[in-house]
Every structure is written in C-alpha cells, then in structure tokens.
Structure 1
Amino acid sequence: MIEFNSTNDFELSNPEELLQWLTSVIEAEQKQMGEINYIFCDDAYLHKLNVEYLNHDTLTDVISFDYTSGDVISGDIYISVERVEDNAADFKTSFKDELSRVMVHGLLHYCGYKDKSEDEAKEMRAKENLYLSVR
C-alpha cells in the first residue's frame, strides 16, 4: 500500500495517477508492495532528519528510510517540496516532472539501486528516465 502524507499544507493534484504509476514501477522491477509512505515536508523538517539520522548538515530533496524485506519493498520517503520547487527551476523542468523524479528515486532505492558511486548514479538516472518516460 502506498500512502501520501504531508507535514504542511501540500497536496498532490493527481494522487490516483501517481499511485498507479508507482505501482507499475514496483511491478516492472519484479518486487512486491509492502507499506510505502511518502511524506511531503519543507526544507527545515527534512534538514532536521538529515542531521539527526544521517549526520549530513545539508539541504536535500529526498531521504528514504528503507524497511524492505526480501522482495517486499517498504519504507518512508520524505520529500522537501521547497527543494523540489527550487530544483525544478534550476534544472528548467516542471514541478510535476521533478516531483515524479524524486518520488521514483526513493522507490528505486528500495528496489536495490544505489547512487553513491558515479556508475551507480548513472544507472539510477537511467532507471529514473525510463520510468519517467512511461508516466
């Protein structure tokens, strides 16, 4: 089950469409859906999590807490709406497209993809682009 939550007044304009798309990504990756929570927040909220849990004193757009067991993917994906807005402007893309990229990025971590090395990041970006092309 995928749930969308918010710590602020942010609301998705198309939750059913996103739910179907994210479910199709899970199926394409040959995984099973567990409990996945998307939590939309602001920079301050996500920065606090980044410092507290990851010891990173930086702003970020997404943090994924992975509770996956075997092929059943589960976890909490925190997304800073402010960071997504700024990144969309910086990358000259729409908010919708940047939000979708961040959402699928978190999900792909649960499917086993990493992005620490250059090669891993390249593979992650290719997967993001693949799934964004069918959104």
Structure 2
Amino acid sequence: MHIDFHDETNSVDEAYVDLIERVIQYAAKKEEVPGEAELSVTFVDNKEIQEINRNYRQKDQPTDVISFAMQELGEGEVEVQAQNENLPVLLGDIVISVDMAKEQAEEYGHSLEREHAFLALHGFLHLLGYDHIEKEDENKMFAKQEEILNEYGLERS
C-alpha cells in the first residue's frame, strides 16, 4: 500500500511519519486491504483543520482528525475497482491537526507518538468504512483501534 504524506506545518518529526506508516501498513494487512491501495495523510494546524471542518462538516471548530473516503464502504470493506485491475484502489485522505494531537497527548497522559498513531489509525478505519455514529459501531471501531495499537506495542500509558 502506498501512503503519501504531506506536512503543511513543517513540524512533524520524521520518526512519527515512519511510525504512522508502519501502523497503517500493519492495520491494512489485518484488514486485508489490497497492496495496490493508496491514501494520503496531511498534517495541518488548528486553523486549517477548523476551516476544513467548517467547510465540509459545518462545524466551526478545530478537530483532531478528518477523513475523506473516496468510496462509501460498509465496515471493514475495501472495494476493488473491477473496471481496471491495474489501477490502484484510492482509499482517500486523512487530515490530522498537529496542535490537537499535542493537546490530546498531554490531556490523556500518553506520548505524542501514540496520539499521532491513534489519530492516523482512526482516520484509516474511517476510510475502510468504520464509523462511530451509533453506540454499537463506536464500540466496534474503538475496540479495533485499541486491538491494533496494543498489538503494535502502543498501549495506553
């Protein structure tokens, strides 16, 4: 799977980018995402993510992560593009606020490394069709996040 990273803040440590790459690749393997799949991860500040949140979700406040899925899928589904198997499966885009990541890492008492991985994984699972609108779906999605992070060695402190 190919992940395209963009750091619009010029502040994200390369080690965090590497960790996010490894965690998403690990999750992709567990979720049986095709190897030719593609997605992007963009790091922004609170001002930028607030603008995105306002424009796309009509919520005029910063948030920690926003995902834009290229395909509407059911939970855990990755639709293979049947019309041309040579084309990559475009999963979508994940946008992470580095400001919110720092705030939440402090608030939850764990490392910035874990918070970045959590937010990226959360966004990735949204791209795969998971959501947390209904309580049952939230329980399933959050359990999946914890399972993957724990297996990867990023337990909550």
Give me the TM-score of the superposition, normalised by structure 2: 0.79
C-alpha offsets along residues 57-89 of structure 1, whole Å, 9 cap, x if unaligned?
122100001113714451110000000111111
**Which AA in structure 1 matches 2:44?**
C
Counterpart position of 1:5: 6
Q: Could you list the runs of 5+ residues in structure 1 that have no partner in the other structure?
A: none
- When the two chains are superposed, the root-mean-square deviation of aligned CA atoms in Å is 1.6
Paired residues of 1:66 and 1:75 also in contact (CA < 8 A): yes
RCO higher in structure (CA 8 A, sep ≥6): 2
- Give 1:93-108 correspondences, 5 Å limit: 93-108=110-125
Change in Cα spacing, 1:8 to 1:17, as seen in structure 2 (3 Å) is closer
Aligned to 2:38: 35
Provide the residue aligned with 1:124 in structure 2: 141
TM-score, with length taken from structure 1: 0.91
Aligned residues: 135
1:97 is displaced (CA, Å) by 0.7
Q: Report if the CA contact (8 A) 1:42-1:81 is conserved.
A: yes
CA distance in 1, matches of 2:55, 2:117: 26
Counterpart Cα distance in 1 of 2:59 and 2:38:
26
Bigger CA radius of gyration? 2
Query: Higher strand proportion, which one?
Result: 1
Contact kept? 2:131, 2:137, Cα under 8 Å: yes
Superposed CA deviations along residues 14-50 of structure 1, whole A, max 9, x for unmatched, are 2334323311211211122522110001000000000
Q: Distance in 2 between matches of 1:132 and 1:57?
A: 30
Matched residue type, 1:5: H
Residue 79 of structure 2: aligned partner: 70
* Structure 2 unmatched runs, 5+: 72-77, 81-88, 153-157
Equivalents in 2 of 1:102, 1:17: separation in Å?
Answer: 12
Identity %: 26
Using the TM superposition, name which of 31-40 and 98-107 deviates more.
31-40
2: CA distance, partners of 1:38 / 1:8 = 13
**What is the match of residue 53 of structure 1?**
56
Contact 2:49 2:95 in 1 (8 A): yes
SS of equivalent residue, structure 1 residue 104: helix
